[in-house]
């Protein structure tokens, strides 16, 4: 198998590796860089547990060749927290609102949520559901993920109240 | 029996016991014990620092890939591995014939049947393991699979469970001596004659054929393992995706002939289990063999297709339900005949004496006069499994049967389905209640739970809305389901897995400075045990939960027990955690009496400290006591140093949580697409350890219900090709298919459980499919439809609306 050299920026650090041309980005991150927060949950590009950013855009890293990321910037869940290790508002939202259980879909979900909030700081519940609709979670039933993203949005807008639950809790009527 | 009721919300933190609100709390101000508490697990998961099996990289580690059968049923003529062995990165190729020489080609299943690790004589389902390769990297291992040449001689497959027992059907299990048909087992429960008599007296008898189709738990993380055999010490370490590490260790000892003390099974972070990770799969055994033969660590990680086509499926019950009642709606008896498809090997994970699991609870929440079930299980050319996907050992099927057939009765009688249920409920004063199939329900107060669901849903307004919509030609349905679960297996005199009694150990050690570690035999797969078990101990000992570490999933470090499935963690291991904490507290009391120089009778426990009755100033904290227990000061006569205890809890009964679910669906009359618009779920699992976590459990289970009722199915063509081998075909709900859930609760404690807590994790998966199907059928009432089988996809609903209901098999 022909090998090639690839150089890319991952979470701000430039990395260069010898790889096979067919290597998937998800395996490059996990097996070659030991960034195992990004997961692999299906073979058909449906589940989104592998979502990372490529030049600021969420992509399914199981559907990108590592070679294609050469010369580009990749950001993974390990690069989500601030320089001092302080958690991003999205990460805190997932903790505060119980937006995760087994944690397997969580890194991908948070990367998408962060990208959404960067573009739309005040997304509605349908907008959040649309944004994460390319990703599957088996544990949470999604409602608490939606709350988590709303929590982060409110936190960043400075509009989160002491009892944020009141505005985020499910009420009668739900969403049709 | 107390019943407290309330409504869940994001930060509702009623602890359920006394209704005391604990308000919104952050990580530094958690209640010391039961109540809403943020999860300890989250810190690593949100940073990408969880450690799942495939994250593990060991020096020199090799990768294993499995060659699988393209045929459902075929004789293996020859296997040529020459080219694969010549691949420069391949270290090992193993066939069934090679395993047979070591006596490892077959392994026992959890049901006492055997299953091929690698096929030797023939393949019996598509996707069955035929050979494996160990190579230097995962890509090379997959390459080498392409280089193995297997010659098959195709045999006719047995796919339709309804023809599997015909004399013409090919015999699948000719490996079993003298086996001349595809019969797996028969099972019955209840009293046939009494039931016959009750049916004879009935004014109304309703019969309906009800299928619970084959589905799959499909955890986001597939199954996998890393085996590391150390030839010098003769020690095997196996990291694997197992929900039952101790049971697996014992079975590996039996299968591989390795001494049990030289086997260490580690279940690290698991990316969801949902029952998929209870059985032992051939891949685990192959990884062990690979490591034994190469002397290197060997990793096996299956892909999604392998997970869907070869690991434990769920359900696949073809049921005929019959219900007998008086004209005024008093249910007299329920009878059912079941044909169960077990696939090619009986790999069902169920207690030995319960080959049909706990299907016997099919009489549900109703006080009836008689019941009878006759079941036949058969082999087909499909993957093994059956018990999985939050079924609580077949209670999904039992609850689906009873809740559908009761709705069919309501349809025939023309009565409201809620009223029919209320009329027939087991009454609170009847508990503990012995059902007609011999199950002793521990406690229940059903009517208030149903009333709360009605109230949260605005049931009467919904019916009015439905009437208006029907008048306008809109298609709207309201479905109700009321279930009684049976979880917490179980009493060891009745329940064992291959001879291992279903008790659970727990060890608690309090360090000199008052911090503690509690070691469990159960294994979380996302259910939050690291948080809630700390809360259980915190409630009993008054040590803050942040100061209590929960250790689980490592057979070298934890006491023996049977693992997490069947919602058994809280009923069994949760009881053990409370009792081991009380054992430590009893010892602490002795030490406190010497520290305070009073008799133990003069001491009273105030969460976290002992104080002298009548002298609140004289007290010692549990932390003070821990230091004394390890210190130089005097201890009472006969009291050893240290502050620790262990226990093995043998439950006296299961716990029987219950719930009332109401679902509202809208159906587009032009496309027959079903939308779940609202879902109200009221659960009663007794004492609530952490309401936030329960709510999350319920949300997840309700989503399973939407998947099963509307989308999910593992299907086959007539040649036995599995048509659902990827997430392109096996449809799992996304954020767009589910509503924002509405949950509530009532509290009816389990009288036999040390803290009154019942299991709950599977309740929503059990209770929601009938609620959704009942809603769809209710919507289709104007079309004259009394029943339609899952999954209620647009095409299937369309056929039903046009008078052509389709069975799903």
Interface of A with B in 69-98 (CB under 8 A): 76-78, 80-81, 87, 91, 94-98
> Which chain B residues contact residue A80 at CB under 8 A?
47-48
3-state secondary structure B335-386: EEEEEEECCCCCCCCCCCCCCCCCHHHHHCCECCCEEEEEEEEECCCCCCEE
- Tell me whether B695 touches chain A (CB under 8 Å): yes
User: What residue in B sits closest to A48 (Cα-Cα)?
Assistant: B220
> Which chain B residues contact residue A53 at CB under 8 A?
none
CB–CB contact B678 A173 (8 Å): yes
Mean pLDDT, residues B603-614: 96
- Tell me whether B396 touches chain A (CB under 8 Å): no
DSSP character at residue B260? G
Dihedral sign, Cα of residue B273, residue B279, residue B280, residue B282 = negative
Q: Residues B660, B482: contact at Cβ < 8 Å?
A: yes
Does B507 have pLDDT greater than 90? yes
User: What residue in B sits closest to A125 (Cα-Cα)?
Assistant: B740
Sheet holding B122-123, edge to edge: B122-123, B74-80, B149-154
CB–CB contact A106 B703 (8 Å): no
Mean pLDDT, residues B641-660: 98
Q: Residues A104, A127: contact at Cβ < 8 Å?
A: no
- Choose among B475, B242, B390, B456: nearest CA to B703: B390
Facing residue for B272 by CB, picked from A42, A44, A138? A138
- Our CA-based measurement puts residue A132 at a distance from the nearest CA of chain B, in whole angstroms, of 7
CA gap B803, B797 in Å, rounded: 10
Mean pLDDT, residues B223-235: 97
- Tell me whether B735 touches chain A (CB under 8 Å): yes
Mean pLDDT, residues B193-197: 98
Does B496 have pLDDT greater than 50? yes
CB–CB contact B9 A169 (8 Å): yes
Q: Is B478 helix (H, G, I), strand (E, B) or coil?
A: strand
- Choose among B427, B254, B8, B44: nearest CA to A102: B44
- Choose among A32, A149, A31, A174: nearest CA to A92: A149
- Our CA-based measurement puts residue A71 at a distance from the nearest CA of chain B, in whole angstroms, of 24
Q: Chains A and B: how many Cβ contacts under 8 Å?
A: 229
Residue whose entry in the numeric block shows the structure tokens 């939202």: A93
Cis peptide before B585 (omega within 30 of 0): no
Alpha helices in B219-297 (DSSP H): 245-256, 282-294
The pairing of beta strand B516-520 with beta strand B548-551: parallel
Interface of B with A in 296-325 (CB under 8 A): 303-305
CB–CB contact B703 A142 (8 Å): yes
Q: How far is CA B757 from CA B30, B274, B279, in A?
A: 20, 21, 27
Mean pLDDT, residues A90-115: 98
Neighbours of B70 (CB within 10 A): 15
User: What residue in A sits closest to B726 (Cα-Cα)?
Assistant: A44
CA gap B594, B32 in Å, rounded: 26
Mean pLDDT of chain B: 95
Interface of B with A in 712-731 (CB under 8 A): 726-728
- Tell me whether B57 touches chain A (CB under 8 Å): yes
CB–CB contact A144 B52 (8 Å): no
CB–CB contact A141 B702 (8 Å): yes
Give pLDDT, residue B16. Answer: 35
Facing residue for B700 by CB, picked from A91, A138, A166? A138
This complex has an ipTM of 0.96
Does B255 have pLDDT greater than 90? no
Neighbours of B496 (CB within 10 A): 17
Alpha helices in B601-731 (DSSP H): 622-630, 691-710
Q: Residues B118, B99: contact at Cβ < 8 Å?
A: yes
CA gap A115, A133 in Å, rounded: 14
Give pLDDT, residue B3. Answer: 60
- Our CA-based measurement puts residue B341 at a distance from the nearest CA of chain A, in whole angstroms, of 25
CB–CB contact B741 A174 (8 Å): yes
Q: What is the pLDDT of residues B271-317, one digit of tens each?
A: 999 999 999 999 999 999 999 999 999 999 999 999 999 999 999 99
Q: How far is CA B40 from CA A95, B530, B541, B549, B696, in A?
A: 9, 7, 19, 9, 15
Phi, psi (rounded to 5 degrees) for B139: -75, -45
Give pLDDT, residue A125. Answer: 98
Work out the pLDDT band at A166, boundaries 50, 70, 90: very low
> What tokens were used for B104?
């490892």
Q: Which of A28, A142, A152 to mutate to test the interface with B (most CBs of B within 10 A)?
A: A142
> Which chain B residues contact residue A170 at CB under 8 A?
9-10, 740-743
- Choose among B424, B567, B457, B480: nearest CA to B769: B480
Give pLDDT, residue B256. Answer: 81
Residues above pLDDT 70, as percent of chain B: 96
Q: Residues B168, B182: contact at Cβ < 8 Å?
A: no
CB–CB contact A140 B699 (8 Å): yes
CB–CB contact A101 B138 (8 Å): no
- Tell me whether B739 touches chain A (CB under 8 Å): yes
CA gap B331, B406 in Å, rounded: 9
Does B797 have pLDDT greater than 80? yes
> Which chain B residues contact residue A40 at CB under 8 A?
54
Work out the pLDDT band at B254, boundaries 50, 70, 90: confident
Work out the pLDDT band at B161, boundaries 50, 70, 90: very high
- Choose among B381, B364, B382: nearest CA to B373: B364
Interface of A with B in 108-137 (CB under 8 A): 110, 125, 128-130, 132-137
Q: How many residues does chain B have?
A: 809
CB–CB contact B525 A76 (8 Å): no
CA gap B89, B67 in Å, rounded: 17
CB–CB contact B735 A104 (8 Å): no
DSSP character at residue B547? G
Q: What is the pLDDT of residues B736-780, one digit of tens each?
A: 999 999 999 999 999 999 999 999 999 999 999 999 999 999 999
Q: Residues B660, B480: contact at Cβ < 8 Å?
A: yes
Q: Residues B782, B483: contact at Cβ < 8 Å?
A: no
Q: How many residues does chain A have?
A: 176
Mean pLDDT, residues B396-409: 98
- Choose among B564, B595, B573, B567: nearest CA to B519: B573
- Tell me whether B38 touches chain A (CB under 8 Å): yes
Q: What is the pLDDT of residues A13-70, one digit of tens each?
A: 999 999 999 999 999 999 999 999 999 999 999 999 999 999 999 999 999 999 999 9
Residues above pLDDT 90, as percent of chain B: 93
Neighbours of B600 (CB within 10 A): 14
> Which chain B residues contact residue A31 at CB under 8 A?
57, 137-138
> Which chain B residues contact residue A2 at CB under 8 A?
none
- Tell me whether A170 touches chain B (CB under 8 Å): yes
- Choose among B809, B808, B803, B723: nearest CA to B773: B808
CB–CB contact B10 A175 (8 Å): no
Strand partners, B122: B75
- What interhelical angle do B575-596 and B529-541 show, nearest 10? 30
Query: Which residues, 6+ apart, have CB-to-CB distance to B170 below 8 Å?
Result: B73, B155, B156, B157, B158
Give pLDDT, residue B506. Answer: 98
Q: What is the pLDDT of residues B575-598, one digit of tens each?
A: 999 999 999 999 999 999 999 999
Q: How far is CA B94 from CA B82, B144, B251, in A?
A: 11, 12, 22
> Which chain A residues contact residue B702 at CB under 8 A?
141
Give pLDDT, residue B640. Answer: 95
> Which chain B residues contact residue A36 at CB under 8 A?
48, 51-52, 54-55
CB–CB contact B24 A146 (8 Å): no
Work out the pLDDT band at B7, boundaries 50, 70, 90: confident
CA gap B597, B241 in Å, rounded: 52
Facing residue for A165 by CB, picked from B10, B702, B735? B10
Work out the pLDDT band at A169, boundaries 50, 70, 90: very low
- Tell me whether A60 touches chain B (CB under 8 Å): no
């Amino acid at each position: 198998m022909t090998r090639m050299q690839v150089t890319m920026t991952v979470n701000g650090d430039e990395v260069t590796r010898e790889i096979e041309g067919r290597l998937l980005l998800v395996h490059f991150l996990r097996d070659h860089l030991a960034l195992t927060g990004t997961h692999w949950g299906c073979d058909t590009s449906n589940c989104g547990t592998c979502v990372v950013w490529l030049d600021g855009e969420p992509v399914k890293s199981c559907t990108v060749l590592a070679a294609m990321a050469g010369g580009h910037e990749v950001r993974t869940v390990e690069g989500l927290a601030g320089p001092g290790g302080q958690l991003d508002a999205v990460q805190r939202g997932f903790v505060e609102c119980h937006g995760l259980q087994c944690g397997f879909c969580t890194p991908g979900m948070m990367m998408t949520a962060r990208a959404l909030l960067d573009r739309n700081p005040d997304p509605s519940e349908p907008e959040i559901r649309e944004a994460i609709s390319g990703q599957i979670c088996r544990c949470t039933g999604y409602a608490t993920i939606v709350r988590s993203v709303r929590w982060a949005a409110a936190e960043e807008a400075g509009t989160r109240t002491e009892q944020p639950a009141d505005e985020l809790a499910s009420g009668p009527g739900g969403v049709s | 029996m107390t019943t407290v009721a309330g409504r869940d919300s994001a930060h509702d933190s009623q602890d359920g016991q006394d209704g005391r609100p604990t308000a919104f709390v952050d990580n530094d101000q958690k209640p010391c014990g039961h109540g809403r508490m943020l999860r300890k697990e989250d810190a690593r998961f949100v940073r990408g620092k969880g450690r799942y099996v495939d994250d593990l990289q060991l020096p020199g580690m090799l990768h294993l890939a499995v060659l699988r059968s393209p045929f459902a049923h075929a004789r293996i003529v020859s296997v040529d591995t020459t080219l694969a062995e010549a691949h420069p990165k391949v270290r090992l190729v193993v066939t069934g014939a090679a395993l047979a020489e070591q006596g490892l080609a077959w392994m026992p299943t959890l049901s006492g049947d055997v299953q091929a690790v690698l096929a030797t004589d023939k393949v019996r389902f598509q996707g069955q393991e035929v050979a494996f390769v160990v190579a230097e990297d995962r890509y090379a291992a997959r390459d080498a699979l392409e280089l193995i040449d297997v010659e098959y001689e195709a045999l006719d497959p047995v796919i339709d469970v309804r023809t599997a027992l015909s004399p013409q059907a090919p015999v699948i299990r000719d490996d079993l001596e003298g086996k001349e048909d595809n019969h797996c087992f028969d099972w019955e429960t209840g009293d046939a004659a009494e039931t016959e008599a009750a049916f004879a007296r009935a004014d109304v008898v309703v019969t309906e054929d009800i299928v619970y189709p084959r589905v799959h738990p499909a955890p986001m993380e597939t199954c996998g393992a890393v085996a590391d055999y150390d030839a010098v010490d003769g020690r095997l370490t196996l990291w694997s995706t197992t929900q039952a590490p101790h049971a697996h260790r014992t079975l590996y000892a039996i299968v591989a002939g390795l001494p049990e003390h030289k086997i260490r099974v580690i279940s690290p972070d698991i990316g969801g289990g949902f029952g998929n990770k209870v059985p032992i799969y051939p891949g685990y055994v192959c990884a062990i063999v690979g490591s034994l033969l190469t002397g290197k660590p060997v990793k096996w990680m299956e892909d999604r297709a392998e997970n869907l086509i070869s690991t434990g499926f769920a359900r696949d019950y073809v049921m005929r339900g019959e219900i007998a009642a008086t004209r005024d709606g008093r249910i007299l008896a329920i009878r059912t005949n079941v044909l169960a498809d077990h696939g090619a090997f009986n790999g069902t994970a169920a207690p030995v004496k319960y080959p049909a699991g706990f299907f016997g609870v099919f009489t549900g929440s109703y006080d009836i006069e008689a019941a009878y079930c006759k079941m036949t299980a058969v082999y087909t050319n499909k993957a093994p499994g059956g018990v999985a996907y939050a079924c609580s050992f077949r209670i999904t099927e039992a609850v689906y049967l009873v809740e559908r057939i009761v709705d069919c009765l309501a349809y025939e009688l023309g009565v409201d389905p809620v009223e029919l249920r209320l009329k027939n409920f087991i009454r609170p004063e009847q508990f503990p209640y012995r059902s007609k199939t011999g199950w002793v329900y521990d406690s229940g107060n059903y009517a208030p739970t149903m009333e709360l669901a009605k109230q949260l849903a605005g049931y009467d307004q919904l019916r009015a809305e439905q009437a208006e919509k029907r008048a306008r030609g809109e298609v709207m349905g309201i479905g109700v389901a009321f279930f009684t679960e049976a979880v917490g297996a179980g009493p060891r005199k009745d329940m064992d897995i291959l001879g291992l009694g279903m008790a659970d150990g727990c060890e608690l050690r309090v360090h000199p400075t008052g911090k503690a570690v509690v070691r469990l035999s159960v294994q979380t797969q996302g259910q939050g045990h690291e948080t809630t078990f700390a809360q259980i101990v915190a409630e009993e000992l008054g040590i803050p939960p942040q100061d209590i570490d929960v250790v689980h999933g490592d057979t070298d470090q934890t006491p023996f027990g049977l693992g997490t499935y069947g919602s058994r963690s809280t009923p069994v291991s949760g009881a053990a955690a409370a009792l081991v904490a009380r054992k430590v507290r009893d010892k602490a009391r002795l030490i406190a009496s010497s520290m305070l120089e009073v008799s133990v009778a003069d001491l009273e426990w105030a969460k976290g400290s002992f104080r002298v009755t009548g002298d609140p100033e004289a007290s010692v904290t549990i932390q003070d006591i821990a230091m004394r227990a390890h210190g130089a000061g005097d201890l009472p006569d006969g009291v050893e140093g240290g502050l620790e205890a262990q226990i093995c809890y043998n439950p006296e009964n299961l716990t029987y949580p219950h719930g009332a679910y109401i679902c509202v669906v809208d159906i587009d009359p032009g496309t027959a697409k079903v939308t779940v618009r609202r879902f109200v779920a009221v659960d009663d699992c007794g004492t609530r350890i952490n309401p936030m976590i329960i709510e999350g459990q319920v949300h997840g289970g309700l989503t399973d219900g939407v998947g099963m009722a509307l989308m999910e199915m593992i299907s086959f063509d007539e040649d036995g090709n599995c048509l659902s081998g990827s997430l392109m075909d096996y449809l799992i709900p996304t954020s767009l298919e589910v509503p924002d859930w509405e949950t509530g609760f009532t509290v009816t404690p389990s009288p036999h459980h040390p803290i009154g807590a019942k299991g709950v994790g599977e309740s929503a998966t059990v209770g929601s499919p009938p609620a959704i199907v009942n809603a769809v059928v209710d919507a289709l009432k104007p079309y004259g439809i009394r029943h339609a089988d899952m999954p209620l996809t647009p095409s299937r609903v369309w056929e039903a609306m046009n008078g052509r209901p389709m069975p799903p098999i």
